């Protein structure tokens, strides 16, 4: 079955399957039924069967799913074995934490350079990756051809640099700046926005509702 | 209309409305139609009208929405003016970045303490908040009564500490540890999980699809 037929909600659930199956693997679980998997993940069993059928169905009637095989297959679909060259823009608190905290190679990415506009930061390294001045970015991209950029810069700066990065060959953006990056002119550019404060405000709503009930 | 009737997808969209309206306010935009708002947000106009009607409908036929009024109302619903006392567990790279990067007071939270099990970190401050040893947490909670905890610790540690924190009065969790925190025994506990690596793997899928199309 062609990958292009996979719907976006299914794709969004795949990393969760991958994570849960990884946990099961660590616990030496060899096989699991869709019912058991559904209980662990808080989805219905039929939802899980439907999701996994999108990829040609890895389950066997009466046996369930082989945990390692299923995890490996989902990993391949997600591309976790890729080595997409990636740069990170913005070596502030968040950028540093992302560079140090995220295991890029395990997710299909290779972090090859970090850029900042502050000359005091250039020349240092973060997690063994060199921090370079933002003015070096054109030379660096021409030389190393990164395809992905992590944006850990304020909104205005992110808006300014996006089209420059696209012109330099960047095809994917992991965007932590406080706005929804949308690339209107090119379908071949992929953007995943991370809005930490949106998530915090969702918690604020839920927490206030819970506190007011008591 | 009662808050309890608001569906979870609507609630998840509220922070985005709040963010977009904040941007419009900065640009001195006074009023906006649902059509204009829909174009900016990538939703349909009827979706927006439907969402906002959940709160009693702030729009006026032929006028649209007053940006400041609507933003203020959504902020009140989200509880951004609350001052929910919050502690952060784990002063590693991510915990430090969250403490420094997130503007808690603007989202309805007051960060009053940071905890770590590493004695070398205790006694320091991060963004003017004291870092205390995790062994101090019971005394601290009894004294200051925080209601919310940000978990920036590994999976195993998070699992261990959750029920302890609930016993100490924590009602809300912003969970950055690599697992889905689920509190089975108590509906009054609110959890928002943030899975950065899930988001990165979604990008991996999209990026690989885009690269293979070329």
Of all residues in chain A, the one with the smallest CA distance to B3 is A209
* Rounded-to-integer distance, Cα B174 and Cα B141, Å: 17
Return d(Cα A24, Cα A69) in angstroms, integer. 12
DSSP A104-156: GGGGTEEEEEEEES-TTTTT-EETTEEEEEGGGHHHHHHHH---EEEE-S-HH
The residues near B62 (Cβ < 8 Å, ≥ 6 apart) are none
pLDDT score, position A185: 53
Q: For residues B102-122, give the mean pLDDT.
A: 96
Q: What's this model's pTM, rounded to 2 decimal places?
A: 0.88
Chain A 158-187, residues with CB within 8 Å of chain B CB atoms: 171-174, 178-180, 182
pLDDT at B212: 84
In B60-99, the residues whose Cβ lies within 8 Å of chain A are 77-80, 82, 84, 92-94, 96-98
Question: Which of A18, A82, A197 shows the shortest C-beta gap to B102?
Answer: A197
Interface test with A, best of B86, B90, B204 (most A CBs within 10 A): B204
User: Is A78's pLDDT higher than 70?
Assistant: yes
ipTM reported for the complex surpasses 0.85? yes
In this predicted structure, which of A45-49, A163-167, B176-180, B193-197 has the lowest mean pLDDT? B176-180
Q: With contacts defined as CB-CB under 8 Å, which chain B residues touch A207?
A: 79, 82, 84, 147-148, 171-172, 190
* pLDDT on residue A153: 93
**Cβ(A108)–Cβ(A83) below 8 Å:** yes
Q: Which ranges constitute the DSSP H helices of A102-136?
A: none
3-state secondary structure of B172: strand
On the question of pLDDT at A84 being above 60, the answer is yes
pLDDT at A115: 98
Predicted local confidence at residue A126, as pLDDT? 96
Residues 6+ apart with CB under 8 A from A28: none
Tokens standing for residue B79: 């509880």
Whether A164 has a pLDDT exceeding 60, the answer reads yes
DSSP B19-85: HHHHHHHHTT--EE-HHHHHHHHTS-HHHHHHHHHTTT---BTTTBEEHHHHHHHHHHHHTTT--EE
Interface test with B, best of A75, A207, A209, A214 (most B CBs within 10 A): A207
B185 pLDDT higher than 60? no
Q: Using CA atoms, how far apart are residues A109 and B202, in angstroms rounded to an integer?
A: 12
- CB-based contact A205 B16, cutoff 8 Å: no
Q: What are phi and psi of A85, to 5 degrees?
A: -65, 130
Q: Which residues of A24-33 are buried (b: 16+ CB within 10 A; e: fewer)?
A: beeeeeebbe
Mean local confidence (pLDDT), A41-60: 78
Quote the pLDDT of residue B83: 94
Report whether A104 contacts A88 (CB < 8 A). Answer: no
Mean pLDDT value across chain A: 88
DSSP B160: H
Q: Using DSSP bridges, classify how beta strands A172-175 and A65-66 pair: parallel, antiparallel or unpaired.
A: unpaired
Contact A84 B208 (CB under 8 A): yes
Mean pLDDT of B96-102: 94
Enumerate the β-bridge partners of residue A125: A130
A5 falls in which pLDDT band (50, 70, 90)?
Answer: low
Question: Is the CB of B140 inside 8 Å of chain A's CB atoms?
Answer: no
Q: Which residues of B touch A94 (CB under 8 A)?
A: 97, 101
* A102-143 pLDDT per residue, tens: 999 999 999 999 999 999 999 999 999 999 999 999 999 999
Alpha carbon B175 to chain centroid, angstroms? 10
Cβ–Cβ below 8 Å for A79 and B179: no
Measured from the Cβ of residue B2, the count of other Cβ atoms closer than 10 Å reads 5
Average pLDDT over residues B65-81: 92
DSSP element (H, E) containing A130: strand A129-133
Structure tokens at A25: 């693997």
Handedness of CA A169, A173, A177, A182 (dihedral sign): positive
Interface mutation target, options B75, B208, B210, B213, chain A, most CBs of A under 10 Å: B208
Helix/strand number for chain B, H first, E second: 8, 9
Average pLDDT for residues A140-159, to the nearest whole number?
A: 94
* Structure tokens belonging to residue B112: 């009053």
pLDDT at site B34: 86
Q: What is the pLDDT of residue A1?
A: 36
Q: How far apart are CA B17 and CA B48, in angstroms?
A: 9
pLDDT for residue B7 = 77
Q: What are phi and psi of A110, to 5 degrees?
A: -125, 115
SS3 A103: coil
Q: Is the pLDDT of residue B146 over 50?
A: yes
**Are the C-beta atoms of residues A162 and A171 closer than 8 Å to each other?**
no
Nearest residue in chain A measured CA to CA from B9: A202
Per-residue confidence band for A58, with pLDDT thresholds at 50, 70 and 90? low
Q: Do A202 and B11 touch (CB under 8 A)?
A: yes
């Amino acid at each position: 079955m062609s990958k292009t037929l996979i719907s976006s909600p299914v794709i969004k659930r795949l990393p969760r399957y991958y994570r849960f199956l990884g946990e099961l693997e660590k616990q030496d679980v060899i096989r699991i039924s869709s019912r058991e998997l559904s209980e662990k993940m808080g989805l219905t069993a039929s939802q899980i069967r439907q999701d996994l059928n999108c990829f040609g169905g890895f389950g066997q009637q009466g046996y369930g799913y082989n945990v390692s095989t299923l995890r490996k297959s989902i990993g391949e679909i997600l591309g976790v074995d890729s080595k997409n060259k990636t740069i990170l823009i913005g070596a502030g608190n968040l950028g540093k934490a992302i560079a140090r905290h995220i295991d890029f190679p395990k997710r299909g990415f290779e972090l090859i350079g970090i850029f900042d506009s502050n000359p005091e930061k250039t020349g240092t390294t973060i997690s063994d990756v060199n921090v370079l001045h933002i003015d070096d970015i054109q030379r660096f991209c021409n030389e190393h051809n990164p395809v992905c950029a992590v944006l850990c810069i304020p909104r205005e700066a992110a808006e300014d640099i996006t089209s420059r990065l696209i012109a330099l060959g960047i095809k994917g953006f992991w965007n932590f700046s406080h706005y929804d990056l949308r690339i209107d002119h090119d379908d071949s550019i992929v953007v995943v926005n991370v809005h930490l404060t949106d998530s915090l405000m969702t918690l604020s709503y839920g927490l206030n509702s819970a506190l007011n009930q008591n």
